[in-house]
């Protein structure tokens, strides 16, 4: 394992990337959206787009997963300026955790104040159905328990303080606003609220692991999002998150079901339009 300081990026590295982007476009969004697996279609809806492939951006990691495009898309969604990550970086791709979260600090330096995170997740809560949208009210940072927290290493006060609070990680007002928006859109049958648990992946969970996570209070499990949220809260961004329940976690030894990436992408496709509409309507209401 590498030491904290080896894994850290310097302020200058984030700044170099941010300055490059500031020079590349004169769009100055206050909201950034990270699109999860199969949910990148959201970025296609933007108007007056500026598209920047990750490979063109100095210091940016590259995305390798099927279902992730790998570009930043600036533009307007429902009249609101935003910047979308069409494709995110995962710990299981082999990146150090600080590379996974690299874009978040860049967004901060670009002037972004609100981060919206989306992901695909397995449903642990027995009341959840495939296709449900879960508004994230809290998380379990399992890699963090094992020292894989993006804030490990020297703290840079220019971003935030050494020991940031996480009991208010997900903005209550935004969550409430999203719930009301979902109800107005007629989504009551498939909208949920719950706790997202991050594991490192890339293997899906065993049955015993799913049972354990459920008993620990997790409603959904996935392989992303939490490091970005920790980093965003450290530098004072407001965070709103949602999980699309793409499959039910297998919790029964008699079950013949098996988690697989194809089902994840298929469900994402089925519910993508509803999810996009929710984010777009919420965005219009954000100050």
Q: Which is it for strands 133-141 and 238-248: parallel, antiparallel or unpaired?
A: antiparallel
Tell me whether residue 32 is one of the annotated catalytic residues.
no
Task: Give the separation between CA 32 and CA 44, rounded to whole angstroms.
Answer: 15
Closest by Cα among 265, 271, 237 to 116: 237
Least separation, in Å, of the C-beta of 103 and ligand HPA? 20
- Whose Cβ is closer to ligand HPA: residue 85's or residue 249's? 249
Other CB atoms within 10 A of residue 271 CB: 21
Is 227 one of the binding residues for ligand HPA (CB under 6 A)? no
Least separation, in Å, of the C-beta of 62 and ligand HPA? 21
Tell me whether residue 68 is one of the annotated catalytic residues.
yes
Is 222 one of the binding residues for ligand HPA (CB under 6 A)? yes
Is 130 one of the binding residues for ligand HPA (CB under 6 A)? no
Task: Give the separation between CA 198 and CA 86, rounded to whole angstroms.
Answer: 20
Is 104 one of the binding residues for ligand HPA (CB under 6 A)? no
Q: How far is CA 110 from CA 26, 28, 54, 94, 179, in A?
A: 11, 7, 16, 26, 29
- Whose Cβ is closer to ligand HPA: residue 21's or residue 39's? 39
**Looking at 9, 39, 120, 226, which residue binds ligand HPA (CB under 6 A)?**
120
The helix-helix angle for 226-234 and 102-110 (nearest 10°) equals 40
Is 39 one of the binding residues for ligand HPA (CB under 6 A)? no
**Looking at 223, 226, 237, 283, which residue binds ligand HPA (CB under 6 A)?**
223
Closest by Cα among 12, 43, 15, 29 to 276: 43
Tell me whether residue 13 is one of the annotated catalytic residues.
no
Listed in sequence order, the residues at least 6 apart from 155 whose beta carbon sits closer than 8 Å to its beta carbon are 161, 162
**Looking at 249, 251, 275, 281, which residue binds ligand HPA (CB under 6 A)?**
249
Least separation, in Å, of the C-beta of 131 and ligand HPA? 13
Sign of the CA dihedral with 234 first, then 195, 216, and 263 last: negative
Q: Considering only 22-30, 94-102, 127-135, 218-226, which stretch makes contact with ligand HPA by CB under 6 A?
A: 218-226
Q: Which residues bind ligand HPA (CB under 6 A)?
A: 120-122, 204-205, 221-223, 246-247, 249, 259, 264
Catalytic residues: 37, 68, 90, 92-93, 120, 223-224, 247, 261
């Amino acid at each position: 394992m590498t030491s904290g300081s080896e894994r850290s990026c310097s302020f200058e590295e984030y700044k170099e990337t941010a300055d490059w982007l500031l020079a590349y476009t004169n769009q100055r969004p206050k909201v950034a959206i990270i699109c999860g697996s199969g949910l990148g279609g959201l970025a296609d809806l933007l108007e007056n787009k500026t598209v920047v492939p990750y490979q063109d951006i100095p210091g940016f990691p590259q995305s390798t997963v099927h279902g992730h495009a790998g570009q930043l898309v600036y533009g307007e969604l429902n009249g609101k300026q935003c910047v979308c990550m069409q494709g995110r970086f995962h710990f299981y791709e082999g990146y150090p955790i600080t590379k996974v979260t690299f874009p978040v600090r860049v967004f901060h330096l670009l002037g972004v104040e609100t981060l919206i995170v989306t992901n695909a997740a397995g449903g642990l809560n027995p009341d959840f159905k495939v296709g449900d949208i879960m508004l994230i009210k809290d998380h379990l940072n399992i890699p963090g328990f094992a020292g894989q927290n993006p804030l490990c290493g020297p703290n840079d006060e220019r971003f935030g303080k050494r020991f940031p609070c996480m009991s208010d990680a997900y903005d209550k007002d935004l969550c409430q606003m999203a719930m009301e928006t979902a109800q107005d859109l007629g989504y009551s049958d498939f909208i949920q609220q719950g706790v997202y648990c991050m594991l490192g992946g890339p293997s899906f969970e065993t049955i015993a692991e799913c049972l354990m996570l459920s008993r620990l209070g997790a409603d959904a499990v996935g392989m992303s999002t939490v490091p970005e949220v920790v980093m965003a809260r450290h530098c004072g961004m407001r965070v709103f998150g949602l999980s699309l329940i793409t499959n039910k976690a297998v919790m029964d030894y008699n079950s013949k079901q098996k988690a697989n990436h194809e089902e994840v992408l298929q469900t994402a496709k089925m519910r993508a339009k509803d999810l996009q509409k929710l984010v777009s309507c919420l965005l219009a209401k954000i100050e």
